Amino acid sequence: MIAAAKTETPATRLDLASDAMAENPWPQLHQLREQGPVVWHETLNRWLITTDHDTRKMLIDFGRFTVEGTSVEDLFGSDAFISMDDRKRHDQLRNVWADAFRARGLAALQPQVQAIVARLMALVVERLRDGETADLSAGVCRPLPTMVIALLMGIPEEAIPDIVRWSDAMAAPVTYLAEAQAIAVRSTREAAKSGLAAYLQSLITARRKQAGDDLVSTLVHSEPGRQLSDPQMVQNLRQLLFAGNETTAKFLAQIFVVYGERPEIRRVLAADRSLITAANDEVMRWQPTVGTVVRRVRGGPIEVGGVVLAEGDDITCLIGSANRDPTRYADPDTYDLHRPPQPNLGFGVGFHNCLGSMLAKMEAELAIGALLDAVPEFTVAAPYRYSSLSLRGPLPVMVARDHG
């Protein structure tokens, strides 16, 4: 195909930060995909990638599509491995923690996560059994991932409210906001980043003196860790602490909503727990939490989907669109529990793929399993709203016992 110039390509001015895009982005994403695999956003000055094929291509080709210089670097800092395209350096740092997030490490962690789930779920279940409604977002979805990552990092429970506060402020989306709004959000975000950095610095200092069985100590006393300055170490720890917090909370919320609204699926899962893994994967495909992933073109012009992208061009991969790409998924707008298994892009792909995906999946399976054990007939009891397109989940998640 002959590559088109920017002025000749499909274009849009769609407000990606609107409430409508957060609530129900699917018709608009469908329309963008119909326009083409690569669509120019005239006001954001960036390319939107709409297909599964082209999104995969970009996320895998780190030589041509870099994270460096994007909003990822702005949020996490250039010394966090999530922002690095120097594969060797990235892998050295990521590998320091990789074992903890693989099957064996997680199997050892599972009983402790199960105990946290049981503790959090007990209060919810008590209310439901008393015939009251319960807030799963505040009771389970939000605290669970923070308590789990705190456990892994050896952070004491009394610090958790601060961690949640800093992490929530860091999660406020800025990428698609008007400049005036973005400035205000950015300043709150920077204050949160500094607060968290100071706290993490105190952990580094303590673990340097006395190592514990936790991921801060693992980094501090590792060979790659010893080569980092303290501010560089803080960036890597902050990334680890933050990346799995809001994301997992929103994924859990989405799972409870999908099953709470679908008694037929809830019943199948309650009867056959072996289906939960695939059922949760389908939630991630159908309603991905991370709706946008950004990159920048590096190393000269490159043709993608019939369009020439120039050096330095900014790119947003629309994961929500890719995950509903009809060339990959039959009947993509339908939640299908029995869909043939195919990896979707909800946890990314390529060497920046999610380090904590198996942990997030484990938390989700234990949480839904615990609720199905105690109150299999739960239902969504109040309206909810979606947060944003880029980090998307329903809030609040109020549930009740379904007497229907």
**Chain positions contacting ligand HEM, by CB under 6 A:** 59, 67, 72, 81-82, 94, 149, 239-240, 243-244, 247-248, 251, 289-290, 293, 346-348, 352-356, 359-360
For 102-122, b where at least 16 C-beta lie within 10 A, e where not — what string?
Answer: eeebbeebeeebbebbeebbe
CB of 242 to ligand HEM, least distance (A): 8
| Structure-block tokens of residue 174 | 């800025």
Residue whose token pair is 């199960």: 114
CB of 114 to ligand HEM, least distance (A): 16
| Residue 248: partners with Cβ closer than 8 Å, 6 or more residues away | 144, 145, 356, 359, 360, 363, 364
Q: Which is nearer to ligand HEM, 25 or 356 (CB)?
A: 356
Q: Which is nearer to ligand HEM, 56 or 401 (CB)?
A: 56
Nearest-approach distance from CB 326 to ligand HEM, in angstroms: 22
One-letter amino acid at 183 equals I
DSSP state of 101: G
Q: How far is the CB of 348 from ligand HEM (least distance, A)?
A: 3
**Coarse DSSP helix, strand, coil percentages of the chain, rounded to the nearest 5 percent:** 55, 10, 30
By C-beta, is 240 or 370 nearer to ligand HEM?
240
What is the C-alpha to C-alpha distance for residues 131 and 379, in angstroms, rounded to an integer? Answer: 12
The residue type at 110: Q
Q: Which residues contact 395 (CB under 8 A, 6 or more apart)?
A: 137, 253, 384, 385, 386, 387
| Closest residue to ligand HEM using C-beta atoms | 356
CB of 306 to ligand HEM, least distance (A): 24
Cis peptide before 396 (omega within 30 of 0): yes
Q: Supply angle C-alpha 101, 90, 45, rounded to 5.
A: 105
Query: In the bound complex, what is the minimum distance in angstroms from residue 170's beta carbon to ligand HEM?
Result: 14
- Min. distance of Cβ 195 from ligand HEM in angstroms? 20
- What DSSP designation does 139 have? I
